Amino acid sequence: MLIANGGAVITILLGVLALLFPSSVARVLGVEARNPLGSSELRATYGGFFIGLGVGCWLAQSSVVFAVVGGAWCTAGCVRLLTICFERSLSSENVVGAAVELAIGFAMLSAIYSFG
């Protein structure tokens, strides 16, 4: 469960960064918050949602919960890889993004094997 909890902590930290620094996160993601609604969206979706997912995993300590969140991270990574292929959006940012998403996902999926 140590590796899975590491994935939860990283998810929480990414959420805290988005909550506190939405403009910086927007730049890294290649999006733009052109008004307060955009900033609110970044804080809620990338901040609050990620914090909620990570804290939920951390509190539940359930292999099923970790598997669901890990599966979602892996899905995000796979979709990013598909966009690289089909939208011809190969960039170091996209490759790193996919690697991070898949790494967090697989870390959380490791909880499946921790409970036997």
- Given its phi and psi angles, is residue 88 left (phi above 0), alpha (psi -120 to 50 degrees) or beta? left
Which of 15, 18, 17 minimizes the C-alpha distance to 39?
A: 18
Report the 10 Å Cβ neighbour count for 11: 26
Q: How confident is the model over 36-48, as pLDDT tens digits?
A: 999 999 999 999 9
Please indicate, yes or no, whether the overall pTM of this predicted structure exceeds 0.85. Answer: yes
Instruction: Please say whether the beta carbons of 74 and 28 come within 8 A.
Output: no
Average pLDDT over residues 13-20: 97
Res. 116 pLDDT band, cuts 50 70 90: very low
* pLDDT tens figures, 19-30: 999 999 999 988
Altogether, the residues listed in the chain come to a count of 116
> What is residue 113's predicted lDDT score, i.e. its pLDDT?
84
The CA distance from 81 to 41, in Å, is 24
Query: Where do the domains of the chain lie?
Result: 2-114
Closest CA to 95 of 75, 76, 73, 80: 80
